[in-house]
A = this chain, B = another copy of it.
Amino acid sequence: MTSPDGERPRTASTVGPVRVVGTGLLGASVGLALRNHGVPVQLADPSRTALALARDVGAGQPARDGDPEPALVVVAAPPDVVAQVVAAELVAHPQAVVTDVASVKGYVLAELRAAGVDLRRYVGSHPMAGRERSGPSAAVPDLFVGRPWVIVDPGEADAQALLAVRALAVDLGAVPVAMGAAEHDAAVATVSHVPQLVSTLVAGRLRDAAPGALGLAGQGLRDVTRIAASDPALWTTILAANSAAVHRELVALRAELDVVVAALAAADEADGPETVAPGALGALARTLAAGNAGVARIPGKHGGTQRTYALVSVLVPDSPGSLAALLAQIGEAGVNLEDLDLEHAAGRPVGIANVSVLPESAEHLEQVLTEHGWKVVR
């Protein structure tokens, strides 16, 4: 069914037209998802290439003079220019609700306040979504599906403005989460920015490592350093924008690092375990136990309280189709795969697939796999 003006029928609560300013990964994905719902999207970007690419992936049409006034403006500009773009859009579109999707919220609000901007039509937001690739060509309409979408009410926003941004998040399949700006910035410092920096620091130390040392690298190092491959320019901007919260959190982490460094120094000075200064080994053990307690607080796959899955480990030859055959077998057994982790065997064509399943399914699964000739590792 097509409406008279050629638009697909609207299936969203969001009232258009929606103007998207900045057509990188996030902006183009917002446009793409809204177009799939039949909402008209006007695109703007200082880069003509980014703009043309976004149009070509189906994210909307470049904004033109004479376009109808937008009901909602989504600012998806680089973090360091977001506040000035938001201020300009509020002026240029005096009927529109304006939101931004920057990953730091406090400094945007502070800059808008410092400029004396009326904030009744502004609501900040931060969809917790991203991909390893960037730019409009990496845009996908499903980017936000199931992800938290933080909505920051500056305090002055109209109820209707809050509603419009919430509707956008829901239309894009995200889960709206209301938070204050400071609360948000402290949260992302802890769960995103500090882990990024620490991963970066560990990876940075590998520059000086002997080639032989790197040959001993295992899955643990790979996991810890995966995000160290992130874009330095983007992250410099993010860290600078959230410098207060990241600094505070990093200073707290350094204090705990100092405890470990002191304990190791004490252990190093001793001749053996018997002569280590009292408390040094206890400090190490307490730090390690605190890490256990912290990691246990991370919510599980579906955003709820972390659930403990049973692990079934199976040997898999490294040949086309063998992992597929294993997972087909798991599917035939009627068991849902909750998570899958592959252990790679350096230099050998065999690996272990660690299959996470609900504890009540594990025994049945092990039995079915063994019956079908799979080698379950116990």
Contacts and interface: CB of A to CB of B under 8 A. Distances in A.
Interface of A: 80, 111, 128, 131-133, 137-138, 140, 142, 145-148, 150, 173, 175, 177, 179, 183, 186-188, 190-192, 194-207, 209-210, 212-218, 220-230, 232-233, 235-236, 239-240, 243-244, 246-247, 249-254, 256-258, 260-261, 264-265, 267-268, 272-273, 276, 281, 284-285, 287-299, 301-303, 311, 313, 315, 318-332, 334-337, 339-340, 342, 344-348, 350, 352, 354, 375, 377-378
A15 to B, nearest CB: 24
Contact of A287 (B200, B222, B339): B200
A188 B209 CA distance: 10
23 contacts: A146-B348, A146-B350, A148-B215, A148-B346, A173-B348, A187-B212, A192-B216, A195-B221, A198-B198, A201-B256, A202-B291, A202-B294, A203-B290, A203-B295, A204-B294, A223-B223, A223-B227, A225-B294, A228-B295, A244-B268, A247-B265, A302-B348, A324-B324
Given A142-B377, A145-B345, A301-B344, 14 more contacts: A133-B311, A187-B210, A191-B216, A194-B205, A201-B291, A221-B298, A222-B298, A246-B264, A250-B264, A301-B346, A303-B347, A320-B334, A321-B328, A328-B328
Given A146-B348, A175-B347, A202 B276 contact: no
A232 B283 CA distance: 11
Contacts of A302: 344, 346-348
A186 B214 contact: no
Contact of A330 (B230, B291, B324): B324
A287 B204 contact: yes
